[in-house]
Chains A and B, each alone.
Chain A
Amino acid sequence: MDVITFTLNGKEVVYDGSAADRLLEVLRDTYDMKSVKCGCKEGECGACAVLLDGLLVNSCCVAVGAVDGSKVMTVEGFRETPQFAVLSAAFADLSAVQCGFCIPGMVLAAQAVLSQNPHPTEDEVREGLSGNLCRCTGYNAIINAVLNASKEGEGLW
């Protein structure tokens, strides 16, 4: 590989560091995508989750070489979308954001759920968010917010 080229939040970027670098660190350190949080670096918490070609992945467990030619979306990009606006409003209505550290990953996980299944059941939402640990909320408010967003955002997903 000569360089690694990928689309980050809609813009093409070229990375010339090591292909073995963790996507998590590349996103945070090289591209200043600080919404991507490091919670464990072992794929066990979901705080660093991003959308890779529309699918949720833990960026700590992705080498940047693997995203050559792919599209990566973080909250820095997702926050510009109408889907984000609906999710953010739904989270705000239930005060579902507490310490906030899991939230960027959680919101992207919610987007992943809704983009595949615009009318999920509670169980389907729980399944979809099951890789994103939250220690603050007990999940109630988050799950309910996603269910509300699916109603409020009718037609968006």
Chain B
Amino acid sequence: MKAISQSIRKKDHDPKIEGRSRYLADYNFTDSGKEILCGKLLRSRYAKAKVLSVKLPELPEGYLYVDRGDIPGDNNVNIVLDDTPVFARETVEYIGEPIGMLVGADEKEVERLLGEIEVEYEELEPVTDLRKADHAFFNYEFGHGDVEKAFAEADKVYEEEFRTGYQEQAYLEVQGMMAEPEEDGKMYVHGSLQCPYYVHGALARALGTGPDGIHIFQDVTGGGFGGKEDYPSILGCQVAVAAHKAQAPVRCVFDRREDMEFTPKRHPSICKYKMAVKDGRVTAVDCDVIFDAGAYSTLSAVVLQRGIIAAPGVYDIPNVHVTGRALKTNTVPCGAYRGFGAPQTFFAVETMMNHIAQDMGEDTIRFKEKHLVKQGDKTSTNGKYHFPVPLPAMLDEVDGLAQLRKKHEEYSKPQTGRCRRGMGLSVYFHGAGFTGSGERDIIKATAKLHKYADGTVEVLASNADIGQGVRTTFPKIVAHELNLPVEKVYYNHPDTARVPDSGPTVASRSLMTVGELLRRAAIKLRDIWVEGEEQEVEEHYKEPDFMIPFYLDRFEGDAYPTYAWGVNAVEVEVDTYTGLAKILGAYASFDVGTPVDYNIVMGQMDGGFLQGLGYASIEKMDYDSKGRIRNNSFTDYLIPTALDVPNLKVTLHVEEYPDGPYGAKGAGELPLVGAAPAYVEAIEQAIGRKLNHAPFNAEDVIAALEEK
């Protein structure tokens, strides 16, 4: 193991375990000693309706109501297309859409008054069936080779449809934001968030202040997993509009049901795949990917892009055609969740490959192995796999952990008896960092190091530690290059008034991209270091030279500089009387490059893997014909407990990436992506049925067994 991989005590360990860390709900007063007003959202009761009138009860002194009429700037939240309003426009587009916010000192009184507001609606016909949705926010198409010709010449053509459901991030700390008007007229907005500068951009637009009129701070954040990528921009604008009108600090912290029902989650999908097979090899893939975007486009463009780029999987298929659409339904807008579109398409392609192999009478593992991409091969977008593809070695590692091949073969034979077993496999990648040229053209990250006269060094960047450890790993990198004890380097939670824009905390980019900027900055600082002087250095992102430029208009070029790789195996035992599946073992080899802290990376791998297993099995959420989500609590949306899994067996395979710090690549999202196809294949083996959707829970098992 490299020195940099040796684990150290996490910098936030003590305050968190001692209960001293201050999360947003823990403020009694603002730091300037002011009382904090409580804001609660007035939400739409209908999936689509005109709001005719809002009749307020008489509000006591100090209580007020804000809606779109109170927005000083522009009623559009800056995300991608800016179509999401701060507060509803003339019509509401989903159940729970915020119409306004009621504000006052006493939370219970605010709740009571909120219940007395009368809203008059004119109901309109909502779209609450993805198959009937016809408005595409985004519609993409790309490919290479000659798909039509390959289908015409094929020995056999396979077609199948795959479906995946919602997944809720279920971070333990719910969403919450607070806004404080400051003496100098600026607005200070802070809370539980991943991307300070996203919130900054949104506030500048909604308040009409320009970038200098606001600053954003990230409080200690109790998990994000993508769920706090775009949403804090929306909630941040709402509390800021309220604080602006009240000229007093306003905080809004959701309750769990509100959070589960009305904040973004993973897009449900329908993927139609068609593959041609000639002489035992897949020669063409044509797939149509549909994501349920919900009522506003928010992040759907970028989620869909990542999803469709991954659609052909890790396989060398000469002819590729992909279409993808993000469709509007009158439901809660979907957004970012660890994996960002890729879990849906990898579920589809992995399961499709299994089904073709089974039909051909081939072992699914061997069938996948013979199609694996190699270094130098073309990617789905005519880019290139520039670096070694370690999948064959990783498959062997997982075989060693799980007895994968032996058990997979054993369980593939027909089984009888009450309890039956299965072993499933998935092979996949996760593109490291932003998709396409976003890093170069949009983010243009800057990071700084500030050295104080006493020799301590502060990292200045905008990446949020949401549990994944950047408050530890960033200083570790800097200390390593400066030959300092890590205690001498620190990284506080970012405040946009003090830190440059090093980009958002997304896309598994923080360590790989910003960590590398910091490494280079540290080298720079080392070279100019003068004892006893205050000094500052700065680094800017530069796209690696080897990259084939990416053109989004035709999905051409290197969508990612490099890839993190994953091989998962899941072994289950299914009780055919109850449908309950017990996970006997979950095994993985992950290649995220060099771990910059072994324990931290293993924590990411374990945690992501279990989220993936939840997505595969018990995490079911759906809306009814009225567009209402019923699974809006921890009672009705089940995530795994400590009793639902055995110890996960994870090993790290290190394929160093020369442009990441010490060889590190993107890490956080990878471990979630492949769990669902591996789990569902294991269930398929156990019950001897062909399956095509996830999550696949006990009820689905029984339904599948009942089908003759």
Write the residues of chain A forming the contact surface with B, with a CB cutoff of 8 angstroms: 28, 32-42, 44-45, 47, 74-76, 79, 88, 91-92, 94-104, 107, 122, 125-127, 129-144
Contact = CB atoms under 8 A, between A and B. Distances in A.
A97 B16 contact: yes
Closest 10 CB pairs of A and B: A35-B19, A99-B467, A100-B16, A101-B222, A138-B606, A98-B467, A44-B634, A138-B610, A95-B599, A101-B172
A138 B173 contact: no
B633 A44 contact: yes
B634 A95 contact: no
Contacts of B13: 88, 91-92, 95, 97
Interface in B581-602: 597, 599-600, 602
A64 to B, nearest CB: 16
A133 B606 contact: no
Given A40-B634, A42-B634, A126-B643, A141 B606 contact: yes
11 contacts: A34-B19, A39-B256, A42-B635, A92-B9, A92-B17, A95-B7, A95-B597, A99-B223, A126-B643, A127-B642, A141-B606
Given A95-B599, A99-B223, A135-B639, 19 more contacts: A34-B22, A39-B173, A40-B634, A76-B19, A88-B18, A91-B17, A95-B13, A95-B602, A97-B12, A98-B469, A98-B607, A99-B221, A100-B17, A100-B21, A104-B17, A126-B643, A138-B603, A138-B605, A144-B647
Contacts of B173: 37, 39, 99, 101
Nearest to A44: B634
B256 A101 contact: no
Contacts of B607: 98, 135-138
Contacts of A41: 255-256
Interface string B1-22: 0000001011011101111111
Nearest to B636: A44
Contact of B16 (A76, A103, A132, A141): A103
Contact of B603 (A40, A79, A137): A137
B643 A130 contact: yes
Contacts of A40: 256, 633-634
Contacts of B28: 32
A128 B370 CA distance: 45
Interface string B490-506: 00000000000000000
A28 B256 CA distance: 18
A138 B645 contact: yes
- Label chain B's interface by main secondary structure: loop
B600 A95 contact: yes
Contact of A99 (B222, B600, B608, B648): B222
B63 interface: no
B225 interface: yes
B223 A136 contact: yes
Contacts of A102: 172
Nearest to B637: A44
Contacts of A134: 172, 642
B679 to A, nearest CB: 14
Nearest to A132: B642
Contacts of A135: 169-172, 223, 225, 607, 611, 639
Contacts of B21: 100
Nearest to B597: A95
Contacts of A99: 171-173, 221-224, 466-467
A130 B641 contact: yes
B25 interface: yes
Nearest to B641: A130
Interface string B627-665: 000000111000101110101100000000000000000
> Which of B467, B602, B603, B608: most chain A Cβ within 10 A?
B603
> Which of A32, A75, A79, A138: most chain B Cβ within 10 A?
A138
Contacts of B468: 98
Given A40-B634, A75-B19, A133-B634, A100 B12 contact: yes
Interface in B13-40: 13-14, 16-23, 25-26, 28
Contacts of B466: 99
Contact of B647 (A33, A34, A140): A140
Contacts of B26: 28, 34
Nearest to B610: A138
Contacts of A94: 599
Contact of B609 (A44, A74, A138): A138
B332 to A, nearest CB: 19
Nearest to A137: B607
A134 B639 CA distance: 9
Contacts of A98: 223, 467-469, 603, 607
B220 interface: yes
A94 B26 CA distance: 27
A140 B25 contact: no
A19 B484 CA distance: 55
Interface in B447-473: 466-469
B650 to A, nearest CB: 8
Nearest to A80: B18
A103 to B, nearest CB: 5
B467 A129 contact: no
Contact of B467 (A126, A136, A138): A136
Contacts of B597: 95
B14 A88 contact: yes
Contacts of A107: 17
Interface in B196-224: 220-224
Contacts of B611: 135, 138
Contacts of A44: 633-635
A103 B647 contact: no
Contacts of A141: 599, 602-603, 606
Contact of A100 (B467, B639, B641): B467
B17 A136 contact: no
A99 B172 CA distance: 8
Nearest to A87: B17
B22 A127 contact: no
A65 B604 CA distance: 42
B670 to A, nearest CB: 14
A79 B21 CA distance: 14
Nearest to A34: B26
Contacts of A28: 26
A88 B610 CA distance: 24
Contacts of B16: 97, 100, 103
A46 to B, nearest CB: 9
A131 B642 CA distance: 8
> Which of B16, B220, B635: most chain A Cβ within 10 A?
B16
A42 B10 contact: no
